[in-house]
Amino acid sequence: MRGLGELEAAVMDVLWSAPGTRTVREVLTELSSSRKLAYTTVMTVLDNLHRKGRVTREMDQRAYRYAPATSREEAVARALRELIDSSGDPRSVLMHFVRSASPDESDTIREALDGVDHPSDER
């Protein structure tokens, strides 16, 4: 995901897939099946994600419990918005995207646009 390193993205995947909050140890356990990591590495990644506003944390006895600050869908939408804004030609990017959309995706886009109030719509 845009703005996240590989390990940060893996940690976010664990948090998005988990119901509720997770400790560093629980995140480490989830990640251990695919890679060998130190506890302090995961702790540092979670601390960095907290500093970036990507996760929230609350103290539970002597350990923090972490949760995503936004849903996966909101994070992807934000990343898409950043890409569109940085493209230099947002209209062209959106036109290419819409042309590549499947029929179901096109229906979803139409539904979303039908529910959007634009300032120019106000009379």
Chain segment 11-20, per-residue pLDDT in tens: 999 999 999 9
Residue listed under structure tokens 């936004």? 70
Question: 6-68 has which CATH code?
Answer: 1.10.10.10
Cα angle vertex 17, ends 8, 64, to 5°? 65
Q: Is residue 37 over pLDDT 50?
A: yes
User: What integer pLDDT is reported at residue 123 of this predicted model?
Assistant: 46
Q: What is the pTM of this model?
A: 0.78
- pLDDT (average), residues 33-55: 94
Alpha-carbon span 104 to 101, nearest angstrom: 8
Q: b vs e for 54-79, b when ≥16 Cβ sit within 10 Å of the residue's Cβ? A: bbbbeeeeeebbbebbbeeeebeeee
What dihedral angle (degrees, nearest 10) is formed by the CA atoms of 58, 60, 64, 68? -50
**What does the mean pLDDT of the chain come to?**
91
